[in-house]
Structure formats: structure tokens, C-alpha cells
Amino acid sequence: VSLTLTYFPVRGRAEVIRVMLKDQGAEFDEKVITMEMWKESTLKASCVSNPLFGQLPIFEDGDLTLYQTNAIRRHLARKLGLYGKDQREAALIDMMDEAIQDLLNKYIKLMFEKDDSGKEGYLKALPTDLKPFEKTLSGDKGSFLVGDKISLADYALVILLIHHQVLSPPCLHAFPSLQSYLKRLCARPNLHAYFHSDDFKNRPIIPGKRT
Amino acid sequence: MATTGVRGTVRKIDSIVQKSTTTRINSVSPSRMFLEYHRRLIYVCLALHSSNNFAMGPYTITYFGVRGRCGAMRIMMADQGQEWKEIVVDFADWMKGDLKATCVFGQLPKLEDGGFALYQSNAILRHLGRNHDAYGKDGKEAALIDMMCDGVEDLRLKYVKMIYQEYDTGKDVYIKDLPNHLDKFEAVMAKNKTGFLVGDKPSFADYSLFEVLLNHLVLCSSCLDTFPSLKSFVEKMSARPKIKTFLDSEAYKKLPINGNGKQ
């Protein structure tokens, strides 16, 4: 069954999908849409009318076409066994993921601001957002956010932490559990290979801007 | 020695079975009673094992005295015939920080399902979806339901931003722009033809959409006039007996939609 991701040539919202698939060794095709192609309205219009939300990424799994990054991620998580071992773990994974999305939305808002004026306030507030994850990971199990296997939520957190270290290299200094978590996950063979690849390194976080 | 859960139940039934084989009761033969208890034992075990649902009540919601991010889950629980307890948090008490410190992300709502505590409103909706068979009949429907719920969440975020940050200056623009967001849901609803977003029964995405549309009708009573499928969806959901009872209740009517009194 073929998997195809359609997105801009950036990390953006789709990177977490790439990271999950790469780590799991799942092959997928990529269709790259440049901003010029996007503005030329046919593809955007077809997203709107068919059925949905006029946005990218689009993900195709055989004859199933999905929009909405998080719906795509959940679908892949169910397919690849990355959604916990039971219903309780699934609920906790959802909870962790929602909180990660909240932080991600703040980060994206900052990235798209016209200047750097919001950065200081953002970095001041960041420890409050990171603390719950530090606390979760400093429990006696602590290897993943939920349970003893990597999940949907871990992939989201890993890429978010990597991007925050780009934004502000010392941002994890006060969070030893997050540091060791990040180190551990980045040492996974497929992720290590992917994060060191030109494919990943040359793809900007967002279009154009400073990282 | 287990006395609770499946193992405990099996032990208790086992002990009844053992007693029944050694005593003649009311002239029913022991072997007949033995078989009867075993039959019931098997049914109980099947019922316990086949239920894929974790926890399943009693439910308690801890939240402020508003509909807010609990609106959809309350309507869902009502429609699913569930009773729940409400712990209402006074905002001034919340600002003192004691309860906030116990919440994983320092936020409400909190749902307790038996002894299991869960935060994040959309995680709660998904959990209820799993508990009450409201997450589609297969993986494909589940994915489409996720997609719809995420679309509703996008709309909800825009609504909340307008209500709390831009009501006086931004309300008119918001209402004018609204059709550009509702048209997608209209298209999906019209295409599916069942009266639900996905499949042929309500999912957590339907409850979330229904609730957000109710709030939008308060904002602008004519906002669904050009969207017949959505209008019919709201009418049909409102007419479902348990939802109707809930929407007519004091418990529902007394709560403001939003925390700042705007709507």
C-alpha cells in the first residue's frame, strides 16, 4: 500500500509525520508543492472543494486521502502501533499530544511574527510549558511520555524540542530529563540517520525565515 | 488472592459452583446447578473480556462555571445516557493556585472516569468516543472523524480568540468571514447524507460541531441560513431526546457560554 505526503519543501507542520515514518522504517513518497504552485489556485481550490480545508499537508494511504496534520498522525499511529498498549495509554497519549500542540501553536505564531519582539517574552514563558513534560519524564520509568514504547506524542515532542534548541540553545539547561530524553530518542538508529541527513538538514523549518 | 476484577469475580463464582455441587437445593440436581452456574460464569467472563472500554464511569467534570471547553463533552455524555458529577471551580479560588498545581498542565477541564483522571478537552472527547463507540466503525472512519474534529477545533480556536480578544472590534468581520469556514462542514454533511459527519451514527466530532454551531447561532442567529445540511443537523441533534432534555435543563441554561460574558 502506498503512502504519499504532499507538502511544501519545509519542515513546518509535516515534519513530525516524516520523523514518525522514518523512525518506523515506513517508506513513503513525497509530492513537493512550492509556494508558487500553491498560489496558482487550482491545487488550493481542489483542497477546498474535495472535501476539505484548503490546507496542506495532504496524506494518501492507498485510496484514503487525509487532511489535517493531527488526523494524519493519529491514523499512522494506529496503523503502526504507536498509540499505546490499551485505551488508558491512548487517552494519556492524546492528553500529552494536545499539550504539545498548544506549545507548537505558540511556537508557530512566534515564527511567523514580523520581527523578534515576541521572542523574549516567549522564552521567559517557555519553562512553564516545558515543566509538565520534564515532570512526566522524570518518573521512575521515564523512557517515553506514556508507557514503555514510543508513541505519537513522543515524535511531536522530539521535533519540537529540536526546533526550540535552534531557537534558543540553552532552553533545556534546567531540564535534565528532557535533555536525556532527547538524547535517547535521537540515538535511535533511524532517527539518528535521518537527523544527520541532508534531506532533513537542508529543509528549512518554515519558508524563508530565520530559524 | 484476587477479590476484585475479573479474577475476583471468577473466584467468587467458582466458590458458588463448588458449593452447589455438594448441596442438594430445592430438589434441583447439583449437576444441573453446576451447569447453570458455569453458564453464567462464562457469560460474565465474556462480558468483562469483550468490553474493550476502560474505566467507564462514574464521570466527574471539574471546570469553571461556564460551557466553554466542556460544552461538547456534556452534550455527548447526556446523549450517551451517562450521568456525571460537576465540580464547579470559582475563578478566584483557581487563581490561588492549589488546584492548578495538581493539574498536569495547570489547566481545566479535568475529567475523572472512575479513578482515571484526564485533561485536555479533545483528549477527553476521544476517550469518551472510545468508551461509547463514537469513534467510527473502522480505521478509515476513525481517521475521517479525527479530521473533522480537528477542523472543528480550528473553528473553535478562531471563535474563542474573537470572543476573548476582539469581540467589540472583530465581531462583525468574524461573522462575515464565517461562511468560508462553515462551507467545508456543509459539504461533508451534504455528501454523507446520514445526518452525521462520518458514518451513520454520532461521533465525538458531531457533538463538537453541534456544540460550536449552537454557540455560533447565539452569536448570529442567521449564520446557518445558507447551509441547509448544517441547519438540519443542528435541528436533528437538538431533537434527540436526551440532548433535548439536557438543553432544556437548568444545569445547561444557567451556565454562560464563555467566561467573559460575551457571546
The pLDDT > 90 percentage for chain B reads 78
ipTM of the complex: 0.91
CB contacts, 8 Å: B133 with chain A? none
- Do B150 and A48 lie within an 8 Å CB cutoff? no
Q: In the A/B pair of chains, how many CB contacts fall below 8 A?
A: 89
A103-117 residue pLDDT tens: 999 999 899 888 889
pLDDT of residue A40: 73
Cα distance between residue A70 and residue B206, in whole Å: 18
- In angstroms, rounded to a whole number, what is the distance separating the alpha carbons of residues A206 and A8? 9
Residue A72 clears pLDDT 90, i.e. is over it: yes
Residue B69 C-alpha, separation from nearest chain A C-alpha, in angstroms: 13
pLDDT digits (tens, 9 = 90+) for B191-228: 999 999 999 999 999 999 999 999 999 999 999 999 99
Residue-level pLDDT at A36? 80
Q: What is the mean pLDDT of residues A8-18?
A: 94
> Smallest CA–CA separation between A196 and chain B, in Å?
32
Is-contact B126 B111, C-beta < 8 A? no
pLDDT band at A140 (very low <50, low <70, confident <90, very high): low
Q: How many CA atoms lie within 13 A of B155 on its CB side?
A: 27
Comparing alpha-carbon positions, the chain A residue that sits nearest to B106 is: A132
Judged by CB atoms closer than 8 Å, whether chains meet at B118 and A51 is answered as no
Task: Give the pLDDT band of residue A142 (cuts 50, 70, 90).
Answer: low
For residues B247 and B220, give the distance between their C-alpha atoms in angstroms, rounded to a whole number. Answer: 19
Question: Region A84-96: what's the mean pLDDT?
Answer: 97
Q: Which among A72, A98, A128 has CB closest to B123?
A: A98
Residue A40, helix vs strand vs coil:
coil
Q: What's the rounded mean pLDDT across residues B9-17?
A: 53
| Identity of the amino acid at A209 | K
d(CA B241, CA B234): 13
Instruction: For residue A211, name the pLDDT band (cuts at 50, 70, 90).
Output: very low
CB proximity under 8 Å: B 112-171 to A: 116, 118-123, 126-127, 130-131, 139-140, 142-144, 146-147, 149-151, 154
Structure confidence at residue B36 (pLDDT): 63
Closest CA to B87 of B102, B76, B79: B102
The pLDDT of residue B57: 81
Q: What is the pTM of this model?
A: 0.86
At B52, the pLDDT band (50, 70, 90 cuts) reads: low
Core vs surface per residue A55-87: b (16+ CB within 10 A) or e: ebbbbbbeeebbbbbbbbbbbbbbbbebbbeeb
Question: A57: cis peptide before it, omega within 30°?
Answer: yes
Q: What pLDDT digit, counting tens, does each position of A17-38 carry? A: 999 999 999 999 999 988 787 7
Give the three-state DSSP class for A14. Answer: coil
Q: What is the pLDDT of residue B1?
A: 47
The answer on pLDDT for B12 being more than 60 is: no
- Residue of chain A minimizing CA distance to B55: A88
Amino acid at B78: A
CB of B49 less than 8 A from some CB of A: no
| Angle, alpha carbons A15-A19-A21 (nearest 5°) | 115
Q: Is the pLDDT of residue B6 over 70?
A: no
Return the amino acid letter for B155.
L
A78 contacts in chain B (CB < 8 Å): 139, 142-143
CB contact under 8 A, A53 and B151: yes
